[in-house]
């Protein structure tokens, strides 16, 4: 079992209680008895800051991130994978705070792929506990910092206590508007398209839509990001040197600018984010034109 006294992650990366897991019953996205009521805090909004060398009008509105390289970061230090995930939480906190300060409207992070269930059970269980404890640790500060949290993906397979707290976190932060933080958990780009098609097929069956009326805009509006009314990403960042999208936003990335870096996710910070934004602002987006 991972000990937080390992010489590895910097203390700022470590959670106060990364192993806690409360077990409850309720179903997916149905939260009626809010045991966490009163956690949220609000405070005056800070002014938006544009980093030196960047242009406000060219900043991406929606940034998506594939947070890759946590396990390799741990292995390179002779540590267990859990240490890498803990360090990755620290990197995520830094990126969320920078996006909030710099006026990014939407930040989507790929936290857990539907393909990740194939990993060792002990690792998956740790990730589920880590997701829950991170949300619990951060919900108050996200409320204070005007960050709205939304979760996309099939959460029906998640532990009940995690499902409950996801619903609580979404409800607590739903009126915040400084930054929209979208967390993809048990998400699959392929299934996102499948469920959109299934929804449209049901509408055809019910006589609401004629088959010849189906077009790309109708499919687009049935995808998970449109269901929560956010635009497609302007910029996708993937860390760790892998040059692929790994079943993430397969439809939504059609005109997204892609940025790949060798940096492992736990080492990704302000300098790397600035570099990604500089690269983005140097590109000409033509949208096929």
pLDDT digits (tens, 9 = 90+) for 112-136: 999 999 999 999 999 999 999 999 9
Q: Measuring CA to CA, which residue among 14, 220, 15, 187 is closest to residue 109?
A: 187
pLDDT class of 36 with cuts at 50, 70, 90: very low
pLDDT, one tens digit per residue, over 138-164 is 999 999 999 999 999 999 999 999 999
Beta bridge partners of 65: 109, 237
Q: What percent of the chain has pLDDT over 70?
A: 84
Q: How far apart are CA 64 and CA 237, in angstroms?
A: 6
Give the mean pLDDT of the chain.
86
- Is residue 129 within 8 A of residue 82, CB to CB? The reply is no
Whether 201 shows a pLDDT value over 80: the answer reads: yes
pLDDT, greater one: 178 or 17? 178
Which pLDDT belongs to residue 223?
94
Residue whose structure tokens are 């991406």? 60
pLDDT, one tens digit per residue, over 38-87 is 333 334 568 999 999 999 999 999 999 999 999 999 999 999 999 999 99
Which pLDDT belongs to residue 260?
98
Which pLDDT belongs to residue 31?
27
Mean pLDDT over 15-28 rounds to 30
Q: Measuring CA to CA, which residue among 121, 116, 186, 135 is closest to residue 18?
A: 135
Structure token digits, residue 261: 């870096």
Instruction: Exactly one of 34, 68, 137, 220 is catalytic; name it.
Output: 68
CATH level 2 (architecture), domain 61-187+233-282: 3-Layer(aba) Sandwich (3.40)
Which pLDDT belongs to residue 218?
95
Q: Measuring CA to CA, which residue among 253, 255, 254, 260 is closest to residue 275?
A: 260
pLDDT, one tens digit per residue, over 176-197 is 999 999 999 999 999 999 999 9
Answer yes or no: 232 catalytic.
Answer: no
Which pLDDT belongs to residue 286?
84
Q: How far apart are CA 37 and CA 169, in angstroms?
A: 10
Which pLDDT belongs to residue 126?
98
Domain ranges across the chain? 61-187+233-282, 188-223
Across the chain, the runs of DSSP E, i.e. the strands, are: 62-66, 106-113, 147-152, 179-187, 235-238, 257-260
Residue whose structure tokens are 């910092």? 145
Structure token digits, residue 45: 């909004």
Which pLDDT belongs to residue 111?
98
Whether 225 shows a pLDDT value over 50: the answer reads: yes
Q: What percent of the chain has pLDDT over 90?
A: 80
Which pLDDT belongs to residue 45?
64
């Amino acid at each position: 079992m991972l000990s937080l006294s390992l010489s590895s992650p910097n203390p700022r990366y470590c959670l106060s209680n990364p192993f806690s897991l409360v077990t409850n019953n309720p179903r997916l996205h149905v939260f009626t008895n809010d045991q966490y009521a009163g956690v949220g805090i609000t405070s005056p909004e800070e002014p938006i800051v544009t980093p030196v060398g960047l242009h406000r009008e060219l900043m991406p509105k929606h940034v998506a991130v594939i947070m890759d390289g946590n396990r390799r970061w741990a292995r390179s230090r002779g540590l267990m994978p859990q240490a890498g995930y803990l360090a990755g939480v620290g990197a995520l906190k830094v990126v969320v705070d920078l996006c909030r300060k710099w006026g990014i409207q939407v930040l989507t992070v790929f936290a857990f792929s539907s393909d990740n269930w194939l990993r060792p059970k002990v690792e998956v269980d740790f990730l589920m506990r880590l997701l829950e404890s991170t949300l619990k640790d951060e919900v108050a500060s996200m409320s204070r910092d005007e960050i709205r949290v939304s979760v996309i993906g099939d959460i029906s397979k998640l532990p009940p206590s995690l499902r409950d707290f996801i619903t609580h976190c979404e409800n607590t932060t739903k009126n915040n508007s400084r930054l929209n933080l979208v967390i993809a958990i048990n998400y699959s780009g392929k299934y996102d398209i499948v469920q959109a098609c299934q929804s449209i097929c049901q509408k055809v069956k019910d006589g609401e839509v004629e088959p010849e009326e189906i077009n790309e805009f109708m499919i687009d509006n049935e995808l998970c990001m449109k269901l929560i009314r956010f635009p497609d990403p302007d910029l996708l960042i993937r860390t760790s040197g892998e040059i692929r999208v790994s079943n993430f936003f397969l439809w939504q990335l059609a005109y997204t600018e892609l940025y790949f870096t060798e940096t492992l996710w736990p080492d990704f910070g302000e300098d790397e984010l600035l570099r990604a934004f500089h690269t983005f602002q140097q590109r000409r987006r033509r949208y096929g034109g």
